[in-house]
Amino acid sequence: MTADPGPLALAARHRPDLGHLTELRVTNPQAVAEALLLRPRFDRTALARPLFVLAADHPARGALAAGGSPTAMGDRHELLARCIEALARPGVDGFLGTADLVEDLALLGALDGKLVLGSMNRGGLPGAAFELDDRFTGYDARGIAEAGLDGGKLLLRLDPGDHGTATTLESAAHAVDQLNERGLIAMVEPFSSHREGGRVVNRLTADDQMWANNIAQGLGRTTAHTWLKVPVVEDMERMMASTTLPAMLLGGEGGGDRDALFASWRRALRIPQIRGLMIGRTLLYPPDGDVAGAIDTAVSLLER
């Protein structure tokens, strides 16, 4: 009797053949720019309603764990297959990723009509001595504009005891300025962070997140195009009283009680500043392998 391969292996058996992407990149690299610039654009008037944005920028920072597997996101063909399935679901508005994923998905036509955000600082590798010196190794504002994207996302982990925080903070302020100058969304994801046993851990309390939000929203010469990306914490209403900026909810690695997780998102979405969900691993690698079902459940939480 054959053992149950589990949801990760089961999904892999049904993934499409994406080998032609490599051939296209070798024979016609200009097709990458053409796919981005010629794709149908996102209707910016839709920003007025609650949004669902799929996030998949984790691999570029070496964060490959998802769905109980430490290397789940390391299989690029599997990740692309899951992203394609998720982006095709009704109600999915956009995508957040690094250039490699954005370009593959654009070549596949999966980003047509979508809001697309480029992930900017991916240099803070998990477990590295320099993790909180989170260098801008991904998109910059010029690259985001030239690719016809809608904005950029910045990770801002703040640890007063780590010198790397100062460099990241200054670089983030410059990135906010450069995005604002081009009329592009600056999506800032702030955390109060510290090290435990050499590992960076985020403090997910209302007080800590309020502190981080206030620092993040003070970056740059203007906040006209600045959004926040925030976690769900206890006492969410008090935490979100720290800002008037629009904010998206993040999802984390997943695991645990999924019904409780969805319920926490539903409650948070009632807060006026929360403008939608920006979720990745939790929905791309659900315990039962049903990506479409997980996406549909999350989208159903948005009151449109």
| CATH number where 277 lies | 3.20.20.70
Flag whether 1 is in a domain: no
Flag whether 106 is in a domain: yes
Number of domains in the chain: 1
Domain that holds residue 147: 6-300
- Mean residue pLDDT across the chain: 93
Q: What is the CA radius of gyration of the chain?
A: 19
Cβ(89)–Cβ(95) below 8 Å? no
pTM > 0.85: yes or no? yes
Residue 69's beta-bridge partner residues? 66
Please calculate the CA angle 301-91-116 and round it to the nearest 5 degrees: 115
Flag whether 252 is in a domain: yes
Predicted pLDDT at 198? 83
Flag whether 210 is in a domain: yes
Flag whether 132 is in a domain: yes
Which of 151-165, 177-191, 246-260 is least confident? 246-260
Which of 6-15, 48-57, 180-189 is least confident? 6-15
Alpha-carbon 107 to chain mean position: 20
Distance in angstroms (rounded) separating the CA atoms of residues 21 and 99: 14
Q: Give 106's pLDDT tier (boundaries 50, 70, 90).
A: very high
Residue with tokens 């006492």: 235
Q: Give 251's pLDDT tier (boundaries 50, 70, 90).
A: confident
Cβ(219)–Cβ(188) below 8 Å? yes
Flag whether 92 is in a domain: yes
Helix (H, G, I), strand (E, B) or coil at 136: coil
